Structure 1
């Protein structure tokens, strides 16, 4: 076996097909193969020279990791000749762990830990750093088998070498920090291995805390933060109690008298960095040092797919935020550049949190240094991201500002009430240094902003008055003796502590910490055309309940009705999803009937809101209205409480769709509570504008409303296509009989909801396309049907609808497509609403149509100048659409690629010609899906670029900055779309490319342009444009003409003759200026292209066919040569100053060859 063959079979690491070999692995393999004969006994130690020492060390390390059976003898060999205390050997191990641990094979990882134990026994130099590096590879939020195994093995190694381990404070304090952080993750996860690991971790941490607490004080305040998450574990309750009440004696630390001593100690960065793996650190630092603001989305998507893709992984977010705030401090050069700032990444990470507990911990990680800030010992860079995130989130993401401010005030008052003065002093010191150092000039950006809620501005003035602008028109200002009784989610959590004095879970937030929620005694509501509040006793209700309902007024009765319906929804969630859907429908019906009268403490005395809502006027119902508008408050509370009830019932509203899309019904996508709600919205949003506001509130809560709605309407479009195809078959000759069979076999499936597609009056009467009025009940409920997968409708209605379609000869294809188009319009209107910020104004276009046609027309941010330009609005909608598409991509690449065709087809104004969407497509698509897209583009099912010159220019120009494979895919899609394009469009693309591309450096684009031109028949204008390309395109023009000569000889010859005739007529008079425009205004004939092409024709190998074919091609080549030479002469080819020297002789030689190479009948015509 040769050395190369042996090397290919020796592996320490996994490597992908397209992944480059690891340099360290290659080095170790080469060393192993070089000295393999010296690695077996007897060892020739006297022959090991200093020069061979490094090579032998590398070879032995490879042998230990690759061959477990020979590992003991290799360690013996290593011990025999090492002279540096194993320092060089351990340094290679450290490099491998830090750079390549994630790629190591399972056997190599096992041997790595075996080797660690051996090195500890041998007291090797720097082995403690090796142990620290391996501890760092145990990632938080990861309960996979490999990660759990590594955590367990390292724990056993440290416990098995306790005397060595306990003698290194830096090691055992880092181990304590690591396992305290991992314990909550392992407590939630299931499995026998994890259960055993949790028991061992608990005993390990308690032993260190009890025996070495004095050494643990160096960890600082983050030790308290981690202990909060485990304080309610039975084993840790005594630890927590002693820490608060008896710190000195209980922990054998006489100098430790109070937990405040830990608060004021800033945690060293090595502990915070230990909870972020080297791979994560590299990716974060790359984003924060190289990626420009606005270009970070693709890197964030990759990072989320790599490290935040599982439900458990979101607990990693607080670790990442602590790392960004406290470990990565950018230089002044980066701070002054357009590199993405830290606060932007932190804001994105906060949006990645799905559970309230993790979101609360993430915010605590962001603000933790604020609470105990001391200017002498703390670093301003640790607190800078939080203030900038709050300031720069206004106005577009003001909900983020609201949530952070609310959380900060909650921390000040309730994190540790016993030490509230210390916390308030720390936060004030933070604000003071941030203002004095000009990180922000003042707090006016928050306290004087019209977008910030008034009660938050009151608190800002209360706590930080010297740094805020006092506005006398703002109304009531607080004083120290006042209490806060604002209408906000803050009221519901005043008694729920999240700090050391908490009776609940330490660190656990209330359900409303993120904002938008209501207090526990507040209830929410729904929508119906009529509501009888004096109805008879309902099933499951007592006479007392109904008597109470009758005694109360209208608003109080509605309040009680909503409470009862929320209770029914809670019970229904325990029974089945179908029961929950029915209960949710009733709740919606109740809410939409009288939303202004649901809450007894905020009753309106008239029904103005109901009237305005029914007419589509939502000018006062903006979900983000912080001014106390009852309409907006009610809608937001209703949305928040539904989310909370469903979450408690174990259902995540608007949750992700991680599964591969299937043609069969999928539970969460087509028959879940979310899909039923979306079906209800699509069918009723035009007649019930409040539904739009309700979805908007959920969107502001951070739920994936837009992405789920987009997936829903796209799936609807997919299912319509087979029905539309059958309708076309029915109208084709001989297709009717087959169509009847198809329809009769689909009695229960192929229906379409009239409530979504038809034009209806207020009584539910719908008019078919023929103009005939048909009485049919409207299916506006959550269980209403749209297609075979999106629910089941009443069978009688389906049969009646089908018979009308067949008897009246209605255009099923057209009506179905109109229905899908309407569904996409509902999504587009939702984008329009979300693209305007938090506070919105909705105006209705009063064109005489019924209320079901009145919808959202204009949205403006309250307090800002109304945007009149449609281009600005469209740009904002583009951003929202791109965000939804990226979320679909994050869920599943196949789902993203399945949604995109419908987006291009039904939302062309938002998707076609958008280079950001195009780049997202070509960066994720694989060859198989690319082929499918090409087929659809060739068939004209949709467009991705369009034919506008400005769009084509922008997309082609921007694509030159993409990766090579992305450019190739882009041009394949462009060529497919332009297959049936007119010559004018192709000519337009050619002109754009001639002024944009560099033939020497833009090879992918040039190849794509060549493919595009080869696929199209030559026309006079196109041939003219090719021949008059700039000189740099000479070879390219020759190749294009040559390909046309092979595939479209007759057309090419006719085009050249046409150009010759026009050139004779337009030839400039003698004495005219040289360089004057000729032949349709093209300035310069591409002489270089002609020379290249003629030389190629003269090549003996140019024609390689058999004798007959060769003769025919020689004839065609002669005709083309003659036409080209005439055209060249007509344009001054022989006399132009741009071609010097041999041009005249070249033409004469070509003419001679023309005579010699063709038959006599053609020879005379060449002169």
Structure 2
């Protein structure tokens, strides 16, 4: 059938949404004509009516008004479902929608505005995103114009929707800057006049709302300032801000200091572009990216004026796509590389200038209190990584940045200089780059640029080598050690991904404390303390600190831990890759000596590293072991890896400690509601501040590690939940990293798999703290699902170790789909069932309790489980009774779908003869309408082709006549003859019983 909504190529399948809408329309077509039924539709019928009406509105323009009146008469949800259908169509398939359907789409959107439908604001914004920049085709200009007409007609409504108003202003200012450069068609000229009138009206009448856009509003206005109508606006913005009568707005600097939300930057990227870019930046690895880039360019950048969209792509990449730490540390192509490629796609000078401005725009006004460092990260990495092969890119970007500083806003040059200086300072402080040595020491960079860097940022001058100036340590303090920059050697050509500190996604709100002023240890001379030269290498310095710690531990365990913290932070420092040639080799003898010294220094004071947690629950919080684990979680660089591998080779349960630590961290984070998938706050008693000990220490440790200075204790309830969520994810990622590393190195010869190591750690943990065992399993199934879900050993451990009380709690979590235990692989589920036959009676009962809870809410085909269960082995009532009981309870609690009813009816005779009939009887009591509807469908299939039996279930299994006769006997005792459906004719059970009797007799005679 030809599509009525979408352009479908001959090789393409039908659009699923059209199929859904058309089926509803065909089914309810008679109800869509006046007079309309007076009955109130049930919820399922209401949804079907919405689908049918939508299809009618889109494909029957002559009846569209009638359909919409019908919709008005039945609506009970504020048009929410109807708008959701439209939004899905626009977001996923707009480019394929036929033009007549698009006309109806705009019409019905206008009507939805009239009735203030729920979600119509999102629908309008989604339609704005479908206007493609640089595309001057008739269909694209038509959409641009029709949307603008609708907004102008609905002006009063628009004033009540500030998000739609500001989104429209952002969209049309950006489009106008491109449209105004071209002239030609009458349609385009008329559109330009409409865009100008709309934007001027919004700016003059609603400027206070326009301020919500932030600093990118200035960038857009600069692109249209050459248009006569905007000159007065620009003049007032600079010289007469009072003309706008906006409360609190007294100077353009107010806009400079306001960061633009990513939702505005998404407006100029179509959903399809967004999907492709996110895929490129999330899954495509170095070396495989060129073909994806070529495809993207062919798809979106080929055309006379399409390159104008590149600046929008760059703003999106910088401000709206922030990769996770896992991606930052992988070999996925980074953002700066994609931006570098996009720069090469610019063929016109003004386009290239706009792209550069988009890249460095946030640098001009950077404020660590409100800005996200991830917005400015791509520019610095592009500059540094372009040395020395593409030095012209580095030079051009620096020259452009300095040009902006001098000329962007001469009256407020000090504001811009401060912003750029703050940007450079924070990039170094947060270790995005270790220093500016890569720029200031690059021979290919012009002396003028180097001098400009040194003059503008004197506090960030390149550090000289340690041979010229020995490292100084303030006496009486234990500063974080500063190691040589990796960019000063052969690694100048590439900024290692290790320079991006693990766990620091640097999203807004993460680093309010991390962004504190640079530690005094970074500038010993400023600390006011007497300094002593330390002329030895860094290993000698750390050895000296360990010697000091041995003495301090004897007098104060707290001071000893502070000393150890400084040592570990020095090991974990992202910029300290090149400690010493003796340390980075294969054997690392001195590193092992240091690990022994750390262990012995605490052992002499009566403390054993990585000891059992059975006797000391708080060893995970206030101990040397906890401090070392926290540091490893923050940074798994080469030295930290080798330290942990060394302790593991010595027999320490390192992995179990990491797993227990991450589990407890996740538990405390969930209790305060910090995780994205947090538990209901009423489900658990509130912990006091003292009981949040691990979470407090972990956050404080992270903030200290990031800022290089000791942080004061904080109130966990006031910490950004997004930060806590990242920290929990980082803890499990660190544990995963460790046992993968252990499997690849220490255990490689013994052929120890990751799964075996994981189970070994889980066994060790389960022997430590029985009161926390439920939380441990909750954590592994939530955060390490790929290793735990469907694993027979872990499931056995679960049912063996957990009490009945804890298992009930686990069943609640499974029923609410907080996590899964068995997974959705039917074959593996049957394997687990077969394995459980050998377990004890109690373990089997617990197993089936969990199985019922999960399969009742999962997508697993229970009919396959039922059918295959009886084919596993020859069932023995003395051995398999628990499993059959569990399967009986599971099947009874499932809905009697045609597939499941067919499977139950087809089961052959077995030692449990009444199994199938009992399930059918249970369904007739709990869900008779659905059961007999399924019977009808099964009988229809069985009696196809002139009465020849065709099984409803694949495989040709026949219906069991004994099951049918027993069930019919049960129905006779119940005297159940008919079922009444709401608004439908009653079902005659006697007729179905007669057909079932006939089928049973026919099957018995074969």
Q: TM-score, normalised by structure 1?
A: 0.39
Structure index of larger Rg: 1
